[in-house]
Amino acid sequence: MPKVKIDNLEVPYSVVNRSIHFPRLEFRTGNLLVVLPKHGREATSIIEKHKKWILEKRLAIDAALLRSTEKKLVQTRSTEDLKKMVYSLIREFSAIYGFQVKNTYFRKMNSKWASHSSKDNLTINTEIKYLPRTSIEYIIYHEMVHSLERKHNPRFWKIIERRFKGYKKKEKELMTYWFLIQNHIGKGE
């Protein structure tokens, strides 16, 4: 696997080609992935251009991995318990904030906690059953805000902040739990 050296840190990366127009960098699973158009250019120019971002992201992931040793997962919540909680939160947030949700789906997702489609459907990662209730509330609220604002722009974060004043701390905490759950699943627990 090739590596890029940034300051004193070596970051391994892999490259994939997809049907996209513009190249991008991803750290969805904790590893750097360079995504290039099918007939794309070389990965090194993209990496060189975004070295600062890569370093910041890698350091944040390393910090989350370290923090994950201090957290515990909820082991007693079943998928059915999770579904009841999520449906209850959807009803509550819809009534209070006027958010729209048509259908809700549950499945294991490899790179995100949940998603909100342009058709107002929610897909929830069943792995959130391991999270504390407050984190689940944040995830559901976050996704439902997308019914009012599609992108993560200043308006979106202002709506998030109405209910979750310290949302940046919540986002950081979710990254920590992400790696804790990945490690938990990896061990087959």
**Stretch 42-60: mean pLDDT:** 91
pLDDT at 185: 65
Whether the CB-CB separation of 35 and 55 falls below 8 Å is answered with: no
Q: Name the nearest CA neighbour of 115 among 181, 184, 53, 28.
A: 28
Q: State the pTM of this model.
A: 0.81
pLDDT at 38: 87
Spatial distance between the Cα atoms of 181 and 107, rounded to a whole number of angstroms: 15
β-pair partners for 17: 36
Spatial distance between the Cα atoms of 67 and 52, rounded to a whole number of angstroms: 23
pLDDT at 27: 84
Determine which helix (DSSP H) or strand (DSSP E) holds 28, and give its type and residue range: none
Report phi then psi at 151, rounded to 5: -100, 160
pLDDT higher than 70, residue 58: yes
- Two structure tokens written together for 175: 């990254």
β-pair partners for 36: 17
The domains found in the chain, sorted by start residue, are 3-68 (no CATH), 79-186 (3.30.2010.10)
- Two structure tokens written together for 65: 């991995």
